[in-house]
């Protein structure tokens, strides 16, 4: 039976064979940090998209009020 392993785990194991242990640990921590940053940026992008939609809705409302 094959054990399921996360992409990070597979990458860490592959690097462990090629690099000293401390370096692998450092790279794994750096990779995790970058993934967290990506998640933050994705959340920020979602928020900006929602704000953009609100602005578009407000512009539509203003246009409808100003159009005779």
Q: What is the pLDDT of residue 3?
A: 60
> Which residues make Cβ contacts (< 8 Å) with residue 11, sequence separation at least 6?
28, 31
Q: Would residue 2 count as lying in a domain?
A: no
Per-residue pLDDT of the chain (68 residues; tens, 9 = 90+): 456 667 777 777 776 677 676 777 888 899 999 999 999 999 999 999 999 999 999 999 999 999 98
Give the number of domains in the chain.
1
Residue 37's domain comprises 7-66
Q: What is the pLDDT of residue 30?
A: 93
Q: Are 2 and 14 in contact (CB under 8 A)?
A: no
Q: What is the pLDDT of residue 2?
A: 53
Q: Can you give the three-state secondary structure of 28-45, one letter per residue?
A: HHHHHHHHHHHHHHHHHH
Q: Would residue 1 count as lying in a domain?
A: no
Q: Would residue 53 count as lying in a domain?
A: yes
Q: What is the pLDDT of residue 33?
A: 97
User: Please, what sign has the CA dihedral across residues 34, 40, 46, 47?
Assistant: negative
Q: Would residue 60 count as lying in a domain?
A: yes
């Amino acid at each position: 039976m094959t054990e399921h392993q996360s992409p990070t785990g597979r990458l860490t194991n592959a690097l462990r064979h090629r690099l000293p242990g401390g370096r692998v640990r450092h790279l794994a921590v750096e990779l995790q940090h970058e993934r967290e940053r990506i998640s933050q940026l994705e959340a920020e992008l979602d928020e900006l998209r929602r704000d953009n939609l609100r602005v578009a809705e407000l512009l539509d409302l203003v246009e409808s009020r100003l159009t005779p």
